[in-house]
Amino acid sequence: MEWMILPFKRYAEFSGRSRRMEYWMFTLLNVIVAFVLTLVIFGAGGAAGMFTPDASGNPPAGIGALFGGMGLILVVYVLAILIPSIAVTVRRLHDRDMSGWWYLGAVIGGMIPVVGFLVSIAFLVLMALPGTPGPNRFGPDPKGVGEAETFA
């Protein structure tokens, strides 16, 4: 549980490095919370009109149900985790000895219709790869490996 809430403790800290465990446990927490909140929204009937057209026959008009009533809880949660999510992703890239600007490139690349799918998969694989062992230009190894002097 400590790994899941660590990004909230380092809320807007974009410097340093984060382990895979910190990134993926935070992602798991967000998936679980979003799933539970979605169940609560649909269970309470807060988004019941989202899939039916309104009286004017405009199907997207029901999307307003997501931003009002119970759907507002999900929107507030997404806004609350926005900064920590970006920060932990940037720190994860730092652990791979990559600049945080690669994240912006992945977001923009993910918006391109056909290439976006490949960019998203490549970024997912990149987040799953281990970090560089020992210290790099962004700080010491978060695992603590390679910091001990060999002949101390």
13-69 residue pLDDT tens: 899 999 999 999 999 999 999 999 888 877 776 555 555 555 566 655 556 656 666
- Considering only CA atoms, give the Rg of the chain: 20
User: Which residue matches tokens 């490095």?
Assistant: 17
In one-letter notation, the amino acid at residue 40 is V
Measured CA to CA, the distance from residue 48 to residue 24 in angstroms comes to: 32
The tens digit of pLDDT for each residue in 67-118 reads: 666 778 888 899 999 999 999 999 999 999 999 999 999 999 999 999 999 9
Q: How far is CA 83 from its chain centroid?
A: 9
Spatial CB neighbours of 37, under 8 Å, sequence gap ≥ 6: 73, 74, 77
CA distance readout (Å), 21 to 29, 53, 75, 77, 142 = 12, 43, 26, 22, 11
SS3 assignment, position 60: helix
Q: Which residue has the tokens 């119970």?
A: 70
* pTM score, whole prediction: 0.80
